């Protein structure tokens, strides 16, 4: 027998468990269309998040000290997200998960991202729930 929860029950569980998580997961995407796609895909997720458009906005959030992870959409950032990685590495805590997501990873880009401070690299397409599970284990 399968168990099914209503949309209201799922929303109540998400709201109740949201307080258990610490910090905000920051998504970085310079292109407005990419920020809009992330916003749509994150609706109803059980994690607190913010979506920013550049390294300066990321630095401001990191200065607040309440960031639990940084996810950089390399396809939607100039220079493949390398400046954003540099900011996250320089301004965030040492153990801050810094994940780069790209649709067509090349060996050169992966090496550059790891050298710039990426702790993980994920090829698109990626499902939001799988990404959150990965971040929870980081």
Judged by average pLDDT, the poorest of 11-15, 31-35, 44-48, 95-99 is: 11-15
Distance CA 134, CA 101 (A): 12
Q: Provide the b/e sequence for 84-99 (b: ≥16 CB within 10 Å).
A: bbebbbebbeeebbbb
Q: Which domains does the chain have, with CATH numbers?
A: 21-137 (3.40.50.2300)
79-135 pLDDT tens trace: 999 999 999 999 999 999 999 999 988 999 999 999 999 999 999 998 888 888 778
Q: Does the predicted model carry a pTM greater than 0.85? A: no
Distance CA 49, CA 46 (A): 9
Q: How many CB atoms lie within 10 A of CB 107?
A: 7
> What is the full DSSP assignment across 36-85?
HHHHHHTTT-SS-EEEESSHHHHHHHHHHT-EEEEEEEGGGSGGGGHHHH
Which one, of 60, 110, 118, lies nearest residue 86 by Cα? 118
- Of the pLDDT bands very low, low, confident and very high (cuts 50, 70, 90), residue 136 is confident
| 81 contacts 73 by C-beta, under 8 angstroms | yes
Distance CA 78, CA 86 (A): 13
């Amino acid at each position: 027998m399968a168990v099914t929860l209503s949309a209201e029950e799922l929303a109540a569980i998400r709201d109740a468990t949201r307080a258990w998580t610490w910090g905000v997961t920051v998504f970085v995407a310079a292109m407005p269309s990419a920020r809009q796609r992330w916003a749509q895909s994150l609706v109803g997720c059980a994690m607190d998040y913010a979506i920013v458009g550049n390294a300066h906005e990321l630095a401001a959030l990191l200065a607040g000290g309440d960031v639990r992870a940084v996810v950089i959409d390399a396809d939607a950032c100039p220079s493949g997200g390398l400046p954003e990685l540099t900011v996250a590495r320089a301004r965030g805590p040492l153990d801050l998960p810094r994940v780069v997501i790209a649709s067509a990873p090349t060996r050169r880009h992966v090496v550059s991202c790891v050298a710039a401070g990426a702790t993980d690299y994920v090829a698109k397409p990626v499902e939001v729930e799988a990404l959150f599970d990965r971040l929870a284990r980081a």
